[in-house]
Chains A and B, each alone.
Chain A
Amino acid sequence: MSGARVAHIASNTFREAVRDRVLYNLIAFAVLMSGAAILVGQISIGIERLVVINLGLTAVSLFGLVIAIFIGIGLVSKEIDKRTLYTVLSRPVRRWEFIVGKFFGLVGTLAVNTFFMALGVFGALLWVSHGFQLADGWVLVALYFIILQFLIITALALLFSSFSSPLLSAVFAFALFVIGSFAEDLRGFAAMAQGAVHWLAAGVAYLVPNFSSLNVVSSVAHGQPISAQLVFSNTLYALLYTAMAVSGAVLIFERRNLK
């Protein structure tokens, strides 16, 4: 069954990431959060809670982004370099199952990592606020959006990894993250442009991933609610974009000459 084979590859990818000490970043995160929770009150005024949320969610996002890119780019190339890919594909495993399994394995690693980091954020929040407020619930929505970001960036890293070298894949994935953070500006530029430039800019703006709508860190730090419509639209967008990128990776990998 395809599902079982995908699950096996995903669990092996997760175990490999744990063996590679990827989760060690949690130690750095714990130090960062404890330091922020204790020190900010002494060097600033009135922003202890804000800093814990802003710093915590930014760190969750950036740590996960780095893991997604640097592990994602090696998912395929490492297997080719170590020649383990040939062992896997000589068994009754299809190429698309290998790609999809790798994707879910890395997403699972990132989800576990995010879960522990979220515990750290809420622990620090409890420390500085001496209790939780109703508005702290929106932090969970921001964390969910961060996981949606990871889905997209992992899929992109995998896409680039399926045809390019690790170094170039990292550059491409990071460049797309930066461009995706400016996606709304790109759309604004497209709206102002005329003729062919308008169509070109609009095309690029809709092709690059839109990370800006997935970033609600500042809003939740101020306890501002996130609409259910935004949650639904972002979920749908992230799933569609991820499916598109993973499909691209499968298409390229299916045609790739592995000899």
Chain B
Amino acid sequence: MKPSRTVTVTAGAVLVLCMMASALVLRHLDRMRTRTRLQEVLYISSPKVLRRLSLGYDGLLADIYWTRAVQYFGGKHFIGARNYDLLAPLLEITTGLDPHLTVAYEFGANFLAPQPPEGAGMPQRAIQLAEYGIRNNPDDWRLYYSLGFICYMELHDYPRAASAFARGAEVPGAHPFLRIMAAQMAEHGGDLRMAQMLWVTTYQSAQDQNVRANAVAHLRALQVDADVTNLEHLVAVYHQNTGHLPSSFADLQAAGLLNAIPIDPLGQAYKLMPDGRIEVPAPDDLPFIQKGLPSGYKPPPPKFLPSD
């Protein structure tokens, strides 16, 4: 072998070996440092300082911080975390760097508002974020919708939700449902129809597949809760009429209380339990349901069905 070829082969081998070895050492280092320690750090928390440091490229930096917020929320949500300490500062930095990044207000407020483990459990911070978004983007009806949604779902503050929907309805090009929601909220806030309308609007106005799947999951959950309430009422009526509980849905059919065997939104028949309770056959596939759960059931982190 020529001396130059020997050097090439040796240098090539050293390069590959060192690269592999450095990757192995890095993996070892990653294991030494905990995930929490790596994540829970925000070296610069001031949007103003970051804006200065960006040298005018603040739009790209805002995109990076928004992606970081999404990854932070997703990572915490996946492990069912109870605290999301960095979420609000990350969203404040994102919207401080780019006040017109409306997606950060819409989704960010909905990450902040729900109680853990669904969200950060910070509805007031979510409202502040949505209001800040409205001040900077007064012509975007989706931000008024987000604000009303949080006021309704998390705070049950119906007058405030009605006010947000009414303000949004005034924006040119707003979804027509906003005016109806404002009126219905003022009339009788808190009913099932209202919640269904909110999730249908979310489904129709969202482009993102995950958001649409989330809306579908909530709509299914609302349907299950309504079905179980109705069926348990029919069981109670049957018990009152006959003095004993029905052994199956066929008994309810025979008594003229039901037309057919009831099925859940996934197409599976509900289960009538010996004590008269109604249960869903596959609770894991129906996240967010409040009723029809087996006793002692612990829900896994929400997942969306592939078909969604």
Give the B-binding residues of A (Cβ under 8 A): 40, 43-47, 50-51, 53-55, 58, 61-62, 177-178, 181-182, 185, 211-212, 215, 217-218, 221-222, 224
Cross-chain contact of B107 among A45, A212, A218 (Cβ < 8 A): A45
B52 within 8 Å of A (CB atoms): yes
Contacts of B208 in A (CB 8 A): 45-46
Contacts of A217 in B (CB 8 A): 56-57, 59-60
B98 touches A44 (CB 8 A): no
With A and B bound together, what is the CA distance between A45 and B101 in angstroms?
11
We find that the number of chain B residues with CB closer than 8 angstroms to chain A is: 23
Closest to B55 in A: A181
Restricting to B16-75, which residues have a CB under 8 Å from any CB of A? 52, 55-60, 62-63, 66-67, 70-71
A46 touches B67 (CB 8 A): no
Contacts of B210 in A (CB 8 A): 45
B103 within 8 Å of A (CB atoms): yes
With A and B bound together, what is the CA distance between A54 and B56 in angstroms?
11
A55 touches B63 (CB 8 A): yes
Closest to B67 in A: A44
B207 within 8 Å of A (CB atoms): yes
A218 touches B98 (CB 8 A): yes
Contacts of A44 in B (CB 8 A): 63, 66-67, 70-71
Given known contacts A44-B66, A45-B103, is B56 in contact with A55 (CB within 8 Å)?
Answer: no
Contacts of A54 in B (CB 8 A): 57, 59-60, 62-63
Contacts of A211 in B (CB 8 A): 56
Cross-chain contact of B57 among A43, A58, A224 (Cβ < 8 A): A58
B59 touches A46 (CB 8 A): no
B277 within 8 Å of A (CB atoms): no
Closest to B211 in A: A45
With A and B bound together, what is the CA distance between A217 and B56 in angstroms?
9
User: What would 10 more interface pairs be, CB under 8 Å, given A51-B63, A181-B55, A221-B59?
Assistant: A43-B70, A45-B66, A47-B101, A50-B101, A51-B60, A55-B63, A58-B60, A217-B59, A218-B59, A218-B62
Contacts of B63 in A (CB 8 A): 44, 47, 50-51, 54-55
A46 touches B55 (CB 8 A): no
